[in-house]
Amino acid sequence: MNSEATFHPNEELLEGYVQGSLSAGMNVVISAHVELCEDCQQRSQEMEATASQHWMQAEEEQEPAISADVAAIIRSITSQPQVRELPERASAVEEIHMLDHSVRLPRVLAKVASDGLVWKKLANGINQASVTLDDKTQCDFLYMKPGSQVPVHKHQGNEITLVLDGSFSDESGMYRQSDFVVRTPDHTHQPVSEEGCLCFAVLDSPLTFTSGLARLLNPLLRYRFRRATSIGV
């Protein structure tokens, strides 16, 4: 489970995760990487310590307006029972079964998958199971069959891919289990997977395919993205 990652979230993303300022989708993919990566566990703990120091040192501009009197609030809080044991976690789906083996999921993704994944076949040996985590991102489990290839595409926003099993490669390199791959809008890329690959991908705006017949998919993808992110609007 602890294969060493070569690609990690940058300072800004990890900082956002620690500060709690990111969307749920981004938090989830970073959390899953952190669970798999001891370096990033260390980094995020250090960032938490620093963030809390800054928090304590900052000057407040505004007082909280606590309506009821504070003594009454404190009395009502301290009449509550305390927790002496962490509750056992409800068991979630922990594994995804592939053709010839199963893949253990990081805890947060196990939770995400616990509502059940609906897999859809896309072209070129790619399977996709979408999950909705918030109104800002599109999140998918992606399974690339051995020898499969995603059509050339670029992104309007950022795409983050966490490799959960197997590997894939593109023009810029080879990515294996635990790797956290960020693609920004200026990348046009064409991922291929020799051995097959299970990933979790988070997009903060839709993909655009740039070549051949795959371009026909664009309007459909945009429609799906809007649907996936239209809750609460």
Partner 1 sequence: MNAPMTAAASTNSRDESSAAIQEGGSDEALLIAVGNSQDTAAFNQLFNRFSKKIFALGMKLTRNEQLANDLVQEAMLTVWQKAPLYDLDRGTAQSWIFTLTRNRCFDIMRKMKRQPTTVSADDIWPQEGEVDFNLSHAEQGSMEVEIANIESYYEQLPDAQRIVIEQIYIYDQTHEEAAATLDIPLGTLKSRLRLGMGKLRQMIGTEEDE
| Closer of 57 and 216 to partner 1 (Cβ) | 57
Whats the size of the chain, residue-wise?
233
Paired strand residues for 143: 127, 198
Q: Interface with partner 1 includes 58 (CB under 8 A)? A: yes
Q: How many angstroms separate the CA atoms of 165 and 15, rounded?
A: 26
Tell the smallest beta-carbon distance from residue 6 to partner 1 (Å).
19
Number of residues that bind partner 1 (CB under 8 A): 52
| φ, ψ for residue 139, nearest 5 deg | -120, 135
Contact between residue 29 and residue 134 where contact means Cβ atoms under 8 Å apart = no
Amino acid identity, position 135: D
Q: In this complex, which beta carbon is closest to partner 1, that of residue 14 or of residue 150?
A: 14
Q: Give the HSE-up count for residue 68: Cα atoms under 13 Å, Cβ half-sphere.
A: 8
Instruction: Check binding of 174 to partner 1 (CB under 8 A).
Output: no
Cβ–Cβ under 8 Å, residues 203 and 225 = yes
Query: Which one-letter DSSP state was computed for residue 90?
Result: P
64 is a site residue for partner 1 (CB under 8 A)? yes
72 touches partner 1 (CB under 8 A)? no
Does 108 bind partner 1 (CB under 8 A)? Our answer is yes
Residue 43 CB, shortest distance to partner 1, in Å, is: 14
* Contacts with partner 1, residue ranges (CB under 8 A): 2, 19-21, 24, 27-28, 31, 35, 38, 41, 45, 48-49, 51-53, 55-56, 58, 60-67, 70, 73-74, 77-78, 80-84, 86, 107-108, 111-112, 114-115, 131-135, 231-232
